[in-house]
Structure 1
Amino acid sequence: MRVLIVITAFIFMMPLRAQRSDFEAIDFWRADYMATQQQGEGLQQLPILVHHLTATLNTDVEKFRAIYYWVCHNIKGNYHLMRKNRNMIRKLENDPQALEAWNNTIQKEVFKTLLTSNETLCTGYAYLLKEMAALAGIESEIVHGTGIWNGNGSSSKDKSMHSWNAVKLNGKWYLCDATWSSGYIDMENLLFAFDYDDRFFLMEPEDFAKTHQPAQVKWELLPQEN
């Protein structure tokens, strides 16, 4: 484990320690059911959608679960958009100014595609989850960094820029990745296939760190040593 030298003020700014086991007593069947009841809904009336997902649920974690489950079962990854973005990032990685300009350009396309066809890439998943959580009164953040994933849970040398979320529940921060929970790209036909993976919903920080490297180390949510 890395040893970090931190000043006292920084220690108090670090997110509180949190684990998925905090919610072992909660059965998410009702939250998941509410999400299935809104299957196929679009994003044009987002406040109404969030209300339908969360109005009958009592706790923030259940409300967030309903939102997360809905996103993962209704938003597709767009292979062509992902490939286009990845290729440009690799091409411009040594030109920060050009890369920033590209990021501004691609974000417009990402959000347009998200709104018109319910398809996106990781940034769109993270943005949508944050917006829907906010409408439910739940604080969350978009976390940018590097993803290391080859589809079977083990690390790969092929790293790529990635975005996911941290969500604050009961005063603690938790990690989740709706992109990787939602499914995968079928490389035979280059189409997205829904295949929900529950592991990335409030995953334990130690396990999350095996495949996610945040740009800001505080979002590892791992215990820090002086």
Structure 2
Amino acid sequence: MRTIVAIFFCVFFLRAAGQSSTASYATIDKRVKTIHAATVGALVGKLTVPYKTDREKVRSIFRWITENIAYDVVGYHNPKGAYEGLWEKALAMNVAEVNLIYNWMIVQKVLDEKVAICDGYSRLFKTLCDSAQIRCEIVLGSTRSYSDRIGLPANGRHAWNAVYLDNSWKLVDATWASGFCDSSVTRFTRNFDPFYFFTDPIQLFNNHYPDEQRWSLLRMTPSLQQFYDFPYYYKSFYDFRVLSLQPTSGVIEVSKKDMLIRFELGIADKVTGFYMAEYPYIPDGADSTAVIRETEEPGDSQLPAYTVTDGKLVCVYKVKSQKSEQVRVILNNKLILHYGIKFR
């Protein structure tokens, strides 16, 4: 287990450190806001005809979806009801091509109602790419979020896409790129996130695990349990040139005797601030039903002692409460990752 984690970690940082996209899609992104169509055929023509490259066409398709399709918060709580009656209609029309007809019915429903769960987002993206003669696949798998307990299986099932461009597969997630929901998934806020367009496979793997391992696009895909065992990396992590990290395991065992965690970070960037914080924070001795809150950003007197020598940051952090479940790492005022805590 430790060997696999260490190897994966090395590949992770060699691939992820300092990466950035240089492509500019401002003109395409602006244009999709003016496009309206009621059918796949009409829509794909408007989205792709002006462009010469498949990359431009895919960007246009992706941005139109994220700009026009809202997350279906009602369908999320009743996924079977989202497509109620469509399968029976497809069966009645043509048994031999029932899956094809069923897919087109779902896609048309998404276009008509302008809402979808992840299945609808990924079907619409693939259908538009297929119509533009661009190879595309739907990827089914598991996800995890910052609120899930590290090391424990999460309940997130998800669908995203792989698209073939420039002789290689690229990963996109139109659902997550379109915006975000509140914690109860009752309200959706549109907010385009470019991180999920042609996301580096290593970076997407942080919270997307495909059922078919080939769609991780990694040379070596860890097991599903190892996926749950990794630390949780936030998008801001990739803003830094991180060269090494300890611990590499997502769950840190903390002795109840000294309550200490040793954290090391090899980094090529200048460190202007660093601290660690627990979540949820319930002081030992407090009523366990007390309001769970995050620790506030500490003042200077509360900052854990750390040193930076020759590009290596070392911090020994003393955990304040045995009720804490996570320890979060904040670098230069950015939350970059968190660990789970196990007391022994």
Normalised by the size of structure 2, how large is the TM-score? 0.48
Give the distance between the partners of 1:196 and 1:76, measured in 2 at CA: 11
| Conserved 8 A contact 1:155-1:211 | no
Give the distance between the partners of 1:155 and 1:55, measured in 2 at CA: 47
Give the distance between the partners of 1:51 and 1:27, measured in 2 at CA: 22
| Conserved 8 A contact 2:65-2:125 | yes
Give the distance between the partners of 1:150 and 1:108, measured in 2 at CA: 34
The alpha-carbon deviation at position 25 of structure 1 amounts to 5.0
Question: What residue number does 1:73 align with?
Answer: 67
The alpha-carbon deviation at position 62 of structure 1 amounts to 1.0
AA partner of residue 58 (structure 2): F
The alpha-carbon deviation at position 26 of structure 1 amounts to 3.3
Show structure 1 runs of 5+ residues with no match: 3-17, 87-103
Give the distance between the partners of 1:63 and 1:224, measured in 2 at CA: 31
The number of residue pairs the alignment matches comes to 188
Greater RCO (CA < 8 Å, at least 6 residues apart): 1
The alpha-carbon deviation at position 113 of structure 1 amounts to 4.4
Q: Superposed, which structure 2 residues align to 1:29-40 within 5 Å? A: 29-38=26-35
| Conserved 8 A contact 1:75-1:119 | yes
Question: What residue number does 1:49 align with?
Answer: 43
Give the distance between the partners of 1:156 and 1:112, measured in 2 at CA: 38
Identical aligned pairs, as a percentage? 27
The answer on 1:194 being equivalent to 2:190 is yes
AA partner of residue 169 (structure 1): L
Distance 1:194 1:132, change over 3 A: same
The answer on 1:85 being equivalent to 2:76 is no
Question: What residue number does 2:24 align with?
Answer: 27
The structure with more radius of gyration: 2
Distance 1:158 1:64, change over 3 A: same
Question: What residue number does 1:148 align with?
Answer: 144
| Conserved 8 A contact 1:54-1:66 | yes
Q: Superposed, which structure 2 residues align to 1:60-209 within 5 Å? A: 60-85=54-79, 111=107, 113-150=109-146, 158-186=154-182, 190-209=186-205
Give the distance between the partners of 1:155 and 1:70, measured in 2 at CA: 37
Give the distance between the partners of 2:205 and 2:154, measured in 1 at CA: 16
Give the distance between the partners of 1:172 and 1:122, measured in 2 at CA: 24
The alpha-carbon deviation at position 33 of structure 1 amounts to 2.3
Give the distance between the partners of 2:42 and 2:108, measured in 1 at CA: 20
The alpha-carbon deviation at position 155 of structure 1 amounts to 9.9
- What's the secondary structure of 1:80's corresponding residue? helix
- What's the secondary structure of 2:33's corresponding residue? helix
| Conserved 8 A contact 1:110-1:120 | no
Distance 1:138 1:155, change over 3 A: farther
The alpha-carbon deviation at position 188 of structure 1 amounts to 7.6
Q: Describe the superposition over 1:137-186 as per-residue Cα deviations: whole angstroms up to 9, x where unpaired.
A: 211000001111248xx999643111000000011001111000001224
